[in-house]
Amino acid sequence: MSLPLFPRSGDKHTCNLSEAVTKPNIVVGEYTYYHDFDDPLRFQDRNVLYHYPVNNDRLVIGKFCSIAHGAKFLFNGGNHKQAACVNYPFAIFGELWEHELHIADSWDNRGDIVIGNDVWIGFEALVMAGVTIGDGARIGSRAIVTRDVPAYAVVAGAPAKLIRKRFPDEDIALLEQVRWWDWSEERIKRDLHLLMGDVSALRESVGE
């Protein structure tokens, strides 16, 4: 589906991110937006860091996510090898040291960053390589996310820690079953009052 680049008339600070990224190793679901006080269209260059093609790692962001100004995703190319005796990344400077190490031998590769659906990532939060954030989670402003975040969890701090769950376990189970982000546009429009209300009304509507 093709969406407008800017979802709000007269607002050039908020973009539909799926329409702004062009790099094949960044995948963004529909209706996910990024807000930036400067230029949201530079997201893939300013906010996705050390993301080198040699690693084959990906940034995968689900549908209907809300990403605030300055949130960044720090990939494996920013790591240094943990098991090495030295911190210095010799393999990056192969010409100088006349060796044949692969450039990616300079760092540990912890894999992709995977963001679920309907995730809110706060102002200037930092998500590290290898992290998976579950559906419906909330990431506090300036949090540093070094570990996986469960669905519908609220995390904050540096490093980020669980503050609370957004809902009781039975409500989380319902939301994960309903998967409203996969509904048609028509159904979302029809049931928007349920999505903007509490879980009990949604439960009653779906007959749980």
Q: How far apart are CA 96 and CA 7, in angstroms?
A: 49
> Which member of 13, 51, 80, 99 is catalytic?
80
Residue 87 to residues 41, 80, 84, 184, Cα–Cα distance (Å): 34, 6, 7, 50
Phi, psi of 105 (to 5 degrees): -70, -5
Phi, psi of 194 (to 5 degrees): -75, -45
Task: Please indicate whether residue 80 is annotated as part of the active site.
Answer: yes
Any bridge partners for residue 161, and if so which? 156
Contacts of 186-191 with C-beta under 8 Å, sequence gap 24+, read none
Q: Are 35 and 123 in contact (CB under 8 A)?
A: no
Instruction: Report, as residue numbers or ranges, the catalytic residues.
Output: 80
